[in-house]
Chain A
Amino acid sequence: MSRATKLHKASWCALSQLQQYRTKSNFSTSIASRNELFAQEQRRQRDAVGRIDKIEVRYLGLPEDVTLVMNNHISTPFNCAQHLSEGHCRRTALALIDGSVPWDMHRPLQESCTLQLLNFNVSEPHVVNKAFWRTCSFMLGAALTRAFKTEANLQLHSFPGPNIKSGSFIHDIVLETQNWQPSKSEMRAISAEMIRLAAQDLRIERLDVQQEIAQEIFKDSKYKSEQLPSIAQQNNGRVSLYRLGDHIDISRGPMVASTHFLGKCTVSAAHKLAEEGSAGAFYRIQGVALPCGFKLSHVAYGLLEERSQKLNPARLPHEPFEEQQQLQLS
């Protein structure tokens, strides 16, 4: 038993070293500069708060309903949970403001409100489930960035709104090659990347920025730069960005608090959608995941995996946007 674990550790070390080398080579100036800009903007927004006002946050839930006095534009629902218990901090995936507005755990509160802390086992978990599905797509983008070599010339396109009933979460990418047939081991490697992200327990932070700063951040990415004007238009000239480790992406809706909520995960299929001429082709990477704490037999999970391999009929990335479809971009 110990010899097996030693072997496992040795291979794990080798893998992680390889990984680090890869990320170092991938850690091009673009990612570094992106993160620098993101951090800068975060600091600027924090400094722009000025005089700290107090707000009353009425927490409803277990163990009892309490009123917390928190700092406006600084305190997050996570800080409120810290006043309650460590268990609350660890188990809460999403916050619900005023009984209806889903809110990221690490997003500063903006006014006095009622707060509910949601996890995956509440009686009405629709919002949390959607947030989880969205986060899975987001994490898939991060995992793909880490998994692919620079030679593959991976470019993340976008991910459509979460549709749990379709059976899979999606991330659309553009690869330089036109005939990528993913093998089982490659899919497993990407799934392993997802699990690794989950194990690192990375906080997912949100930042609302002006369109110019977003343009600056995504100047290296062709597809993101194209999408930004329409997104900003929908949102009063502001764009909501999410950061996970060193991966930044654009998304509308709330995400769960941390990557550790990912339990079982399988990246199941990659479908070629369309060709991009010389630039390569569009691919749709699909996967299925369960939150941590959900036990499913391998037979049942196998059924879900099988179903997630079918091409997801969500909006295709290369088709021209329509008004309604733009709204769905999240």
Chain B
Amino acid sequence: MNQADVTKLISQLRIAVRPSQRNLKNSDGPEGRLLKLRKTVTALMKHERIELYYNRADEARGYAELVRIISNGYNISSLHSIPIPKQLISNAIRHGDRHKATMELADYWLLEKQLVHKLFKVLVPRYENYNVSYTRMYRAPRDYPGMYYRQSVLELRGNPYPSLVMDQSHNRNLLHNVLLDEARKEFRRKKLADLVN
């Protein structure tokens, strides 16, 4: 039985979060784990699509989303301050820029300092009106024979590269679209006939 920590108010992460963290193996222990994850998050912000092992990708994903959420300016109110109502994203970018704790966090997590600028100037406006997660993770083919670890591709939504998933909704010649279009036409014809009658 624990009591939830009410000093911080964090928004819901829109990804599946494991109940406990993965203690990724590292010779420097927990600090080394966080350093590795910082490098991963930095690379993700920089390249917007990276391929890496699944476990680290899953861990880094949570941190990447939180960096984004916190930089959006979701309030990190302390126990004794008057609770600030959750700011709209438009004000919050300002708030994010100025808020000391947010800047410290962004500074810690993004090892390359120009990415802090990219975070606040490019990514925050991009994700202003999103109601889905900011990252996407795919499973990648495993290297058999060889290092048979689970691979994954982690990418930010809205990245400039071509999509990794087949978009089957736009090609109207695909079988399911042909069937659906015909069904729709027939429905409309029938409706028109009913109206005429």
Residues of A that sit less than 8 Å from B by CB: 120-121, 123-126, 129, 132, 164-167, 288, 290-291, 294-296, 300, 303-304, 307
B182 engages A167 (CB within 8 Å): yes
A120 engages B179 (CB within 8 Å): no
Q: For residue B174, which residues in chain A have a CB less than 8 angstroms away from its CB? A: 120-121, 125, 129, 294
A129 engages B166 (CB within 8 Å): no
Check B196 for interface membership: any CB of A closer than 8 A: no
Chain B nearest CB from A212 CB (Å) reads 38
The A interface, classified by DSSP as helix, strand, loop or mixed, is mixed
Q: For residue A126, which residues in chain B have a CB less than 8 angstroms away from its CB? A: 173
B183 interface neighbour in A120, A121, A303, Cβ under 8 Å: A303
Q: For residue B166, which residues in chain A have a CB less than 8 angstroms away from its CB? A: 121
B173 interface neighbour in A123, A294, A304, Cβ under 8 Å: A123
A132 engages B175 (CB within 8 Å): yes
Top 9 nearest A-B pairs (CB, nearest first) are: A165-B182, A129-B175, A307-B183, A294-B176, A304-B179, A164-B178, A303-B183, A125-B173, A290-B176
Residues of B that sit less than 8 Å from A by CB: 166, 168, 171, 173-176, 178-180, 182-183, 186
A291 interface neighbour in B173, B175, B182, Cβ under 8 Å: B175
Chain A residue, CB-CB nearest to B185: A165
B186 engages A290 (CB within 8 Å): no
Chain A nearest CB from B88 CB (Å) reads 33
Q: For residue B178, which residues in chain A have a CB less than 8 angstroms away from its CB? A: 129, 164-165
A290 engages B173 (CB within 8 Å): no
Within the assembled complex, what's the spacing in Å between the Cα atoms of A303 and B174? 17
A304 engages B175 (CB within 8 Å): no
Within the assembled complex, what's the spacing in Å between the Cα atoms of A230 and B171? 39
Within the assembled complex, what's the spacing in Å between the Cα atoms of A261 and B132? 32
Chain A nearest CB from B174 CB (Å) reads 6
Q: What are 29 contact pairs spanning A and B, CB under 8 A?
A: A120-B175, A121-B174, A123-B171, A124-B173, A125-B173, A125-B174, A125-B175, A126-B173, A129-B173, A129-B174, A129-B175, A132-B175, A164-B175, A164-B179, A165-B178, A166-B182, A167-B179, A167-B182, A167-B183, A167-B186, A290-B175, A295-B168, A296-B176, A300-B176, A300-B180, A303-B183, A304-B180, A307-B182, A307-B186
